[in-house]
Amino acid sequence: MKIAHRLFAGAALVLALTGVVVGEFDRSSAIVATNQVDVYELAGWIKRGEVVLTDLRDPVDTEVFSLPGAMSLPDTLAFLEAEGSAATVVVFGYEDHRTWYPLQSRGYDVKFFADGVEQWLSKILNPVIYRFAPEEELAEFERHAEISQYFGGIPRYSISPVQTMSGSDQLARVRRGCGF
Amino acid sequence: MVARPYMSPYLAGIGVGLVLLLAFLIMGRGLGATGAYSTVLATAVETASPEHIVDRPQYASYLNHEEGSSPLKDWLVIEIAGVLLGGFLSALWARRFRIGITRGHNITDGHRLLMALSGGVLMGLGAKFARGCTSGQGLTGGALLSVGSWLFILFAFAAAYAIAPTLKRYWS
Amino acid sequence: MNFPVVDISGLSLDTGLWVAFALGIAFGFFLEQGGMGNARKIAGQFYLRDLAVMKIMFSAVVTTALGLFWFARLGWLDYDLIFLPPTYIWPQIVGGIIFGAGFVTGGLCPGTSCVAVSSGRLDGLALLGGLFIGILLFNELFEYFEDFYRSGSLGSISLPDYLDVSYAWALVGLVILALTAFLGAEALARRKGA
């Protein structure tokens, strides 16, 4: 077997085995999935001004409705540079796009808020619970009522066990100009 | 004029592998071939008979008229055009370019051309079912360790080996 | 994290097409250099006479697979953004069998037929014509096997995920498989030579 062949074979084996030794790479989808923030925790941070919030959606959508204090990506980057801040950045409205990379590559701590707008609308601004739901659920609902009201939300009790309106339906209403 | 010897297949393979890697790194996708032919065919069919495309997603999915441009302005079609040029440049440089027919000694040119045509028909069918050929599934899907791609290659080679004995005279 | 360029930094449509052209040229060049424009050489694979096809394909797959792993591991490539062709078990098995039959009959494949044509081979042209006929047949008869065509869907899934092994170990397996095939090929060539 020629020297060149031995070299290539050896290189391939070394590269593969070293791969086993150093371990797998983190899949970005896994990173997003394991770094999600809870909506109520986020609401608390926003209330206390402890978080930088970035809306990654198109301006067409962000103008209609967004979360309180949310900035666009360019504004967020400018803000963070000016403040020299070590704050946690929570991004939402990303879907499948890696639009947050400019934040990560600058070393900021990025957390993710999947379906951000829908969660905010359905859990903070328009929370609804079945009047005869189990005790623990009702108690939890009560606990969150305060933060809801802080942001202008109206907790409601429904006489039907079926959830009335999903977050995306609520957003559609907002787009059509109906209040909530 | 004597042709140059072929490059070592290992070296040629590494070359192909690096090109494929570049495709992934730049475009996020691998190389292919069959898709280009589907696009060319769909464009031809649409030109000949636009009504035929209606309600036929097997054609329509290859016809992208975005930005008002021709569906032939397609990544795979342009890639195949490159393959044609690259193969030509290589053949020219290696002094291997020659109009002719590659065939076994025991058959006629006509027979060979008929077999080539038949082989093409079968491969066209097979590649459509499998969503790719040796380039799209074998190389691209293979490098990604995709289950379906490896199944495809396994069964393709198995079938080829199984049928080869019946064609022995034709190839020798 | 810079790759894939098209998703991270962005790439205009036209630039992407120039990339396609350049990559195609390199692809065609290496294929022809490896003798893949020669139908008899390719067919030799199936008579264990000339194993260039296997050597080229395995070398390419190993090179790319290792490259992808290391670019991802070094944090340069977002592997999740790579398009993984979806798996449809039944049509891919049946398609494979039909394709293999055509492969040994024609001696060229869709990609290498272009290389053959570029070398002046008229059999490459005939095969190319056959490919168009085959695709046309498929399209025209599509309604009869549309259900079969969509059967056996597993989505985009890789062997390590399916077998529940780590990607790195799967690569070790791939390299060992390739090297074993290469050793076998060399041993076969030596025996035939003697």
**What ipTM was reported for this prediction?**
0.96
Q: What percent of chain C has pLDDT over 90?
A: 88
Find the mean pLDDT for residues C96-124. Answer: 97
Cβ–Cβ below 8 Å for B28 and C82:
yes
* Per-chain mean pLDDT for chain A: 86
Using CA atoms, how far residue B52 sits from B46, B59, B153, in Å, is 7, 9, 33
Residue A165's pLDDT is: 64
SS3 call for C158: strand
SS3 call for A55: strand
Residue C173's pLDDT is: 96
Given pLDDT bands bounded at 50, 70 and 90, which one contains residue C95?
A: very high
Q: Does C51 touch chain A (CB under 8 A)?
A: no
Task: Look up residue C7 and give its DSSP letter.
Answer: H
Of A135-149, B111-125, C139-153, C173-187, the range with the lowest mean pLDDT is A135-149
Q: At which residue do the structure tokens 């449809």 appear?
A: C88
- Is residue A61 predicted with pLDDT exceeding 80? yes
Residue-wise pLDDT for B113-131, tens only, equals 999 999 999 999 999 999 9
Task: Look up residue A166 and give its DSSP letter.
Answer: -
State in Å, rounded, how far the first CA of chain A is from the last one: 77
Cβ neighbours of C168 in A, within 8 Å:
16, 19-20, 23-24
- B36 closest CA partner among B79, B90, B94, B92: B79
- Is residue B15 predicted with pLDDT exceeding 60? yes
Q: What percent of chain A has pLDDT over 70?
A: 92
pTM higher than the cut 0.90: no
SS3 call for C43: helix
Q: What percent of chain B has pLDDT over 70?
A: 100
Cβ–Cβ below 8 Å for C106 and B118:
yes
Cβ neighbours of B131 in C, within 8 Å:
85-86, 88, 91-92, 95
Q: What percent of chain B has pLDDT over 90?
A: 91
User: Subunits touching B (CB < 8 Å, at least 3 pairs)?
Assistant: A, C
CA-based torsion, C63, B15, C156, B151: positive or negative: negative
* Contact assessment for residue B44 and residue B167, using Cβ atoms and an 8 Å cutoff: no
Residue C88 to residue B130: CA distance in whole angstroms: 8
Given pLDDT bands bounded at 50, 70 and 90, which one contains residue B67?
A: confident
Q: Does A101 touch chain C (CB under 8 A)?
A: yes
Residue B157 to residue C100: CA distance in whole angstroms: 6
Residue C149 to residue C91: CA distance in whole angstroms: 6
* Per-chain mean pLDDT for chain B: 95
Given pLDDT bands bounded at 50, 70 and 90, which one contains residue A166?
A: low
Residue-wise pLDDT for C35-57, tens only, equals 999 999 999 999 999 999 999 99
Cβ neighbours of B11 in C, within 8 Å:
59
Q: Does A28 touch chain C (CB under 8 A)?
A: yes
- A99 closest CA partner among C154, C194, C153, C9: C9
Distance from the Cα of C20 to chain B's closest Cα (Å) equals 5
Q: What angle do CA C74, C157, B138 make, to 5 degrees?
A: 85
Alpha helices, DSSP H only, in chain C?
5-8, 13-33, 39-43, 52-73, 89-106, 110-118, 122-140, 142-149, 159-163, 167-193
